[in-house]
């Protein structure tokens, strides 16, 4: 009985100490400037991405990008993102995919919609390696706005929103880069909080 009470008190103390850490700076602000900056692995799982691995390989092991990895496989794009590149990928998280209405999301994953899904995914890929600093420079050169050409030739608009980079799709929806500069052997990954929808 005494041991059980000690264990209960210890568990409560651990739970309370976890609550107290809520006043720390959010993971988004500690990692927005670069994947190499120190952030707890639990707070920023993509930081486990290996610079020696390809974009496709890293997405396949990322706990926050299961939906994206599955979509890339379904669309037949895994091999592309395993290639030499370099590529800049704006990678929506699982939470970002969860914001897409289920009917649309499930429809994209049907074999008959493979081309539509591929179009959506390619809209998140820009040829070349563009770091957050490169994007900021392009935005400054463009007077506050940079027009990026995706691999399928569509325009993707990048702007600054405070310290963050805000992306606006051709269809008008927006995504914010929440974590930037995860170096890959064939490019760079920036984590975004929404799925960007191109003109279809």
Largest distance between two CA atoms of the chain: 69
> Would you say 95 and 175 are in contact if contact means Cβ atoms under 8 Å apart?
no
Residue 187 pLDDT > 60, yes or no? yes
Tokens of 153: 């030739």
DSSP secondary structure letter of residue 195? -
* Per-residue pLDDT at 14: 30
55 vs 52: CA distance, rounded Å: 10
pLDDT digits (tens, 9 = 90+) for 83-112: 888 999 999 999 999 999 888 988 898 988
* Per-residue pLDDT at 198: 92
Domains, the chain, ordered by start: 53-192 (2.30.180.10)
pLDDT digits (tens, 9 = 90+) for 138-175: 999 999 999 999 998 999 999 998 889 999 999 899 99
Name the pTM for this structure: 0.74
| Element holding 88 (H helix, E strand) | strand 87-92
pLDDT digits (tens, 9 = 90+) for 30-70: 333 333 333 333 334 454 677 778 888 888 888 889 999 99
Confidence grade of residue 121 (pLDDT, cut at 50, 70, 90): very high
Cα 190 off chain centre by: 5
* Per-residue pLDDT at 48: 65
What ranges in 21-65 are assigned the alpha helix state H? Answer: 27-31, 55-61
108 vs 10: CA distance, rounded Å: 48
Rounded alpha-carbon distances, angstroms, from residue 199 to 25, 73, 75, 119, 168: 37, 22, 18, 9, 12
Average pLDDT over residues 105-134: 92
Confidence grade of residue 185 (pLDDT, cut at 50, 70, 90): confident
């Amino acid at each position: 009985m005494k041991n059980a009470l000690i264990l209960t008190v210890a568990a409560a103390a651990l739970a309370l100490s976890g609550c107290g850490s809520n006043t720390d700076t959010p993971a988004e602000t500690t990692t927005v400037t670069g994947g190499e900056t120190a952030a707890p692995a639990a707070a920023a799982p993509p930081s486990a991405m290996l610079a020696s691995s390809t974009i496709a390989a890293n997405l396949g092991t990322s706990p926050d990008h299961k939906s994206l990895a599955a979509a890339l496989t379904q669309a037949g794009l895994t091999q592309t993102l395993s290639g030499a590149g370099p590529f800049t990928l704006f990678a929506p998280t699982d939470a970002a995919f969860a914001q897409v209405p289920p009917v649309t999301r499930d429809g994209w994953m049907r074999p008959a919609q493979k081309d539509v899904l591929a179009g959506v995914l390619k809209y998140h890929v820009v040829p070349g390696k563009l770091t957050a600093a490169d994007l900021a420079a392009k935005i400054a050169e463009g007077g506050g706005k940079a027009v990026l050409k995706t691999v399928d030739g569509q325009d993707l608009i990048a702007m600054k929103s405070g310290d963050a980079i805000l992306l606006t799709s051709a269809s008008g929806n927006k995504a914010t880069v929440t974590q930037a500069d995860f170096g890959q052997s064939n490019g760079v990954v920036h984590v975004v909080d929404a799925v960007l929808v191109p003109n279809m």
